[in-house]
Amino acid sequence: MPQPRIPSSTSLRLPIFIVGTPRSGTTLLRLLLNSHPELAIPDETNIMAWLYKKPGKPRLLLPRASDAGNLTTAFGMNLAAEYDGLRRQKRPRSRRDKVAWFFESYAHQRGKQYWGDKTPGHARYARELKDLFPESTIVFMLRDPRAVVASFLRYKASTRRTESDFWICDTIEEAVESYRRYIRPAINFAEHLEFIRYEDLVTHPLNTLQQVCRKLGIEFAPEMLEAGRSSESEFFEGTSKRRGALPEWKGAALGTIDPKLADNWRHELSADQIAYTSGELSEFLSRFGYVHAAD
């Protein structure tokens, strides 16, 4: 069974891929790590959907990267156009090299040496990511299932809700079933993953980030703890925006790290909803060590 862990290491374990269920804290971790002076992590790229129809099924790549919306919104149209303008002999050939070209170019534009990716749905591509980048670290963000379910329901009436916000649910039953579906990669591909608890990140950010840096083999940078002071334009290139504006569920990650966020679900869900969710998701509460946080 996977257990939350970040073992120490002195060897370089980059790039880093941040994955997890929606609403598990992947955006917060991305913003904190992106504030490191040597690490660049763009907005959600969904780049594996460019390479694969589904896990294990490679896609015939579009001849023009600028036709792949996920690449243009995450990396910018200029970078996609630059890729399309490469002469045949200079264009990266392997899937690994194609992915690395985009991320390395993105990092270079920002004067950074290393890169990472944050796309929660890439969890189901854990095997493919390890095949492409065996030296990488894939971090799966864990969060109390009841907190995730509460967040799935929190924004159901938002005026910024669009079809892109597939994780937003209208009923507690739908939210519980969605959690079951999104958490499966944490079990199926546990041998490829490292686990971080959202609760540890917001309660002990310094210690947690120091452990992450040791795992990656890079020096901890104090600037990482100041990510919340930056403006949204520095971190969101377009993928996360809705009609040109950042929705409230993304903007919250730019605020001060607040330990109270870990227990918001206790006040948002009714007693009946908590009982229902705890019963339906007891397997995952137990597996990820949240049983004793129940009552």
- Is the per-residue pLDDT at 5 higher than 50? no
Average pLDDT, rounded, for the chain: 88
Q: What is the rounded average pLDDT of the residues 124-153?
A: 97
Q: What is the rounded average pLDDT of the residues 6-18?
A: 76
- Is the per-residue pLDDT at 230 higher than 80? no
Q: What is the rounded average pLDDT of the residues 147-157?
A: 96
256 exposure class (CB count in 10 Å sphere: 0-12, 13-18, 19+): exposed
Q: Which two tokens stand for residue 13?
A: 């374990």
Q: How confident is the model at residue 144 (pLDDT cuts 50, 70, 90)?
A: very high
Q: What is the rounded average pLDDT of the residues 210-222?
A: 96
Domains and CATH numbers, the chain: 16-293 (3.40.50.300)
Q: What is the dihedral of CA 123, 126, 129, 133, to 10 degrees?
A: 120
Q: What does the pLDDT read at residue 233?
A: 46
More confident residue, 83 or 234: 83
Are the CB atoms for 60 and 176 separated by under 8 Å? no
Q: What is the rounded average pLDDT of the residues 73-78?
A: 83
What percentage of the chain exceeds 70 in pLDDT? 89
Q: What is the rounded average pLDDT of the residues 140-166?
A: 94
Q: What is the rounded average pLDDT of the residues 219-226?
A: 92
| Predicted TM-score (pTM) of this structure | 0.91
Q: Which two tokens stand for residue 143?
A: 């969060």
Q: What is the DSSP letter of 220?
A: -
Are the CB atoms for 149 and 172 separated by under 8 Å? yes
Q: Which segment of 70-79, 96-105, 107-116, 223-232 scores lowest on mean pLDDT?
A: 223-232
Q: What is the rounded average pLDDT of the residues 256-265?
A: 88
Task: Give the C-alpha separation, 205 to 243, whole Å.
Answer: 32
Of 163, 165, 140, nearest to 155 (Cα)?
A: 165
β-sheet with 194-197: strand ranges across: 39-40, 114-118, 16-20, 137-142, 194-197
- Is the per-residue pLDDT at 4 higher than 50? no
Q: What does the pLDDT read at residue 182?
A: 97
Q: Which two tokens stand for residue 244?
A: 């040109």
Task: Give the C-alpha separation, 24 to 30, whole Å.
Answer: 12
Q: What is the rounded average pLDDT of the residues 132-149?
A: 98
What is the tens place of the pLDDT at every residue in 15-54? 999 999 999 999 999 999 999 999 999 988 999 988 999 9
More confident residue, 8 or 118: 118
Q: What is the rounded average pLDDT of the residues 84-100?
A: 91
Q: What does the pLDDT read at residue 9?
A: 45
